[in-house]
Amino acid sequence: MLFTPAETENLKMKNRLVRSATAESMATKEGFVTDELIELYKKLAEGGAGTIITGYMFVSEDGRASYKMTGISEDRHIDGLRRLVEEVKNVANDVVFVAQLAHAGRQTILGNAIAPSAVRDPYTGVEPREMTKEDIERVIEAFVNAALRAEKAGFDAIQLHAAHGYLLSEFISPHTNRRKDEYGKERAKILLDIFERIREKSRIPVMIKMNACDFVPGGLEVDEAVRIAKLLDDAGFEAIEVSGGMYESIYHNRYNVVSQKVAKSGEAYFKDYAFKIKDAVSIPVMCVGGIKSRKTAEILLKKVEFVSMSRPLIRDPYLPRKMMEGEVDASDCKSCNLCLTAIFEGKPLGCYAKN
């Protein structure tokens, strides 16, 4: 099953293994694609994943989370991105290559953070400014323009990053979105607006990665995530990748995106959330979080259409091919998270494990 083809409404995948978006920390200061970034993606393409989702790319300058993040905020970014797509397609013409579009919201190390509401992040100490209507309009426009740039560069699809406490995730969370206007009354409105405005200009498939639970007091809980997922399904999104947690959940010592504690407690730690969302939507669902073995992947695929991996493919980009050929059954990634520490220090993405 893992290595049998799958489809979404507009895309054909050669298998069901997805490389989940993973920040590379390899772009230039201005967000341009580098040779190092291209080499990383060529390896991933050779490695056999059917779908590859790029690391988060900033849609506007104030949406940068960190210094070496890739940019898709200006037309001058397109040439480098086009080269990236061409090189990947030269290696594996049948890979579905997806651009992840993001705005950092309050989770930025660069200052001047904006967010739906001025809710301080106790983990980072960042105190964001509440966005005005004009800010919201500008950010929607930035996502739409970024989607059009992704299409021009040749990506097969885009994925909106509405997980992990970044800006779109902050909008759908009742903890970080306390607005009284229409963007607070319907917290998914910004997602629907972005989608509609992209559709006025382009047919590029639009996927989404969203939290099913924030794991913070007063945050998004799964029932509300299910309601939002249904809206996205009705709107025409292509697929939903289900994740959870934000920086703040580390402060509260609860689950988070890549917690070691959670990873050690068993594979596929968000599977119940992905299953709940799958029960409610007709579009394909991707399950992510601590999936290491082919055996677990096969079990998950009885219920969802795709399984996503991040850290196992940092450890070894050729893992899918090795699994397919029966050379290995599972990743030997120990979830030490030194990869994450490294990118936050501005070092390039890679496995920094001690063994």
Q: Which residues are catalytic?
A: 166
Answer yes or no whether residue 340 interacts with ligand FMN by CB under 6 A. yes
Considering only residues 184-243, where is the footprint of ligand FMN by CB under 6 A? 209, 243
Q: Is 335 left (phi over 0), alpha (psi -120 to 50) or beta?
A: left
Q: Which helix (H) or strand (E) holds 63?
A: none
Q: Which of 2, 6, 17, 23 binds ligand FMN (CB under 6 A)?
A: 23
Whole-number minimum distance, CB 3 to ligand FMN, in Å?
Answer: 18
Considering only residues 115-174, where is the footprint of ligand FMN by CB under 6 A? 161, 163-164
Answer yes or no whether residue 297 interacts with ligand FMN by CB under 6 A. no
- What count of other Cβ atoms lies within 10 Å of the Cβ of residue 25? 23
Answer yes or no whether residue 52 interacts with ligand FMN by CB under 6 A. no
In 3-state terms, what secondary structure has residue 150?
helix
| Cβ-based nearer residue to ligand FMN, 58 or 195 | 58
CA distance 313 to 18: 10
| Cβ-based nearer residue to ligand FMN, 37 or 200 | 37
CA atoms within 13 A on the CB side of 150: 33
Euclidean distance between the first and final Cα of the chain, in Å?
31
| Cβ-based nearer residue to ligand FMN, 190 or 291 | 291
| Cβ-based nearer residue to ligand FMN, 304 or 343 | 343
CA distance 46 to 313: 12
| Cβ-based nearer residue to ligand FMN, 121 or 241 | 241
Q: Which stretch binds ligand FMN (CB under 6 A): 14-22, 139-147, 273-281, 321-329?
A: 14-22
Answer yes or no whether residue 100 interacts with ligand FMN by CB under 6 A. yes
* Nearest by Cα to 220 from 273, 259, 264, 296: 273
Answer yes or no whether residue 309 interacts with ligand FMN by CB under 6 A. yes
* Nearest by Cα to 7 from 49, 41, 50: 50
Residue pair 208/237 in contact by the 8 Å Cβ criterion = yes
Q: List interacting residues with ligand FMN (CB under 6 A).
A: 20-23, 55-56, 100, 161, 163-164, 209, 243, 257-258, 288-291, 309-312, 339-340, 343, 349
